[in-house]
Amino acid sequence: MAFPLSQGAISRAEAADPNGGRCLIENCSKEHGVEPCYVQPRLLATEVGDKHTMDSLEYSWGMQRGTLNFSTRDNVFFVGSSLKRMYEMHSWILMPEESIVGQYLQRDLEPHERESFPLLEGPFKYRLLPIRGMENVVITHQHTTHVYPFKTLPSLTSHIHPRFVIMALARTLVSPDIVERSQVRAWLEEYPYFGEIGTLYIDWAGQCPDIYLSDPSYVPEQVDGADALDDSDVDDEYESDADGTVTPPRRQPLARKGTHVYPSSLSDLHKSKPTCRKLRFRACDTGEISGGWTMVY
C-alpha cells in the first residue's frame, strides 16, 4: 500500500532536491507530469514484522526508538509519472555508488555498530538499474536518448539518502517474486559490492542486541508523571527541521524511569536474527534464503 505524501513532505523534499523538483531520470521540468515518489515505501508500524524491522533499523542507524519517518525528504525523490509507475511495479531501482556503500563498513568489512554509524551528507550519486519489463523502453535525458539496459545514462545526483536506497535495493534483491535468482547471480558478478548491500541490510534490519531496550540512547527514560506519546499525539507528517529523517518518538511509549517496555513478541524478533555477526551473501542454487541469498560464515 502506497501512503500518500502530504504537501509539507513534498515541499521539504523539493527544497532539499538539487534538481529543484525536476525528474531525477529525465531531468524534465515539473510541468511535464513529475511526481513525488518514495525510495522505500513506508512500512506499517501496525504490522508485527514491519514494526520489528523498524525497531532494528532505528537501533542500527543510531536513532531513538519510534522516530523513523518514511515521509522524510531523505526518502522522497521526483520522477515522471510513467517512470514512477514502473518504479512502483519494480521495473527499475536505484543503485548507490560502491564508495558510499563502503563507508557503512568498518575496515574488517563488518557493518558499523550503532555507536559508530556514519552520518553521511549529500548530495549523492546513483545509477538506474533495470529489473524487468524495460527492454522496449526508451529514456530521454534532456537531449539524448538511452535504451535498455541504460548504461549510457549519466549518474543521477540527488538528496535522497543512501540508507533508504540500500534498503530498497536489498529488499528487491531478496524478493524472488521480483528478481529471478539467475539475475541476482549476474548482478553479483557485475557488481560484487551488491553482496555488501545484502550484508548491510540484514545487519540493519535483523540485529538488535537482547539488551537494546535497556539502552537509554535508544529508549529514553520518561520523566515520572509525563504522558507517553502515541499515534494520536503527533502528526504523521511532522518532521524536525534539525534532522530530516526523524519524527518525535511515537510508535512505542517511552520507558518510565526504572522500567523498560518490551514487546510481547520480542522472542520472535530474536528468533529471526542471525546468531553470527560475520555474514556474507551470495546467490546460489541450494540453501537459499529469501530467494537466492545464503549466509556464508
Specify if 265 maps to a domain. no
Specify if 257 maps to a domain. no
Q: Residue 164: which of 68, 1, 40 has the closest Cα?
A: 40
Q: How confident is the model at residue 44 (pLDDT cuts 50, 70, 90)?
A: low
Choose the most confident range, by mean pLDDT, from 24-28, 223-227, 242-246. 24-28
Give the residue with greater pLDDT, 221 vs 131.
131
**What pLDDT digit, counting tens, does each position of 184-217 carry?**
999 999 999 999 999 999 999 986 666 778 888 8
**161 contacts 124 by C-beta, under 8 angstroms:** yes
d(CA 120, CA 118): 6
pTM greater than 0.85: no
Asked if residue 263 has pLDDT above 70, the reply is no
Specify if 54 maps to a domain. no
Specify if 86 maps to a domain. yes
Give the residue with greater pLDDT, 103 vs 248.
103
Average pLDDT over residues 275-284: 41
Specify if 57 maps to a domain. no
Specify if 245 maps to a domain. no
The count of domains in the chain is 1
Asked if residue 36 has pLDDT above 80, the reply is yes
Give the whole-number percent of the chain exceeding pLDDT 90: 58
Specify if 227 maps to a domain. no
In terms of residue numbers, what domain contains 185?
7-48+64-204+277-296
- The reported pLDDT for the residue numbered 264 is 32
Backbone angles phi, psi at 173, to 5 degrees: -60, -30
One-letter amino acid identity for 224?
D
d(CA 94, CA 40): 11
Mean pLDDT (the chain) is: 79
Average pLDDT over residues 152-161: 97
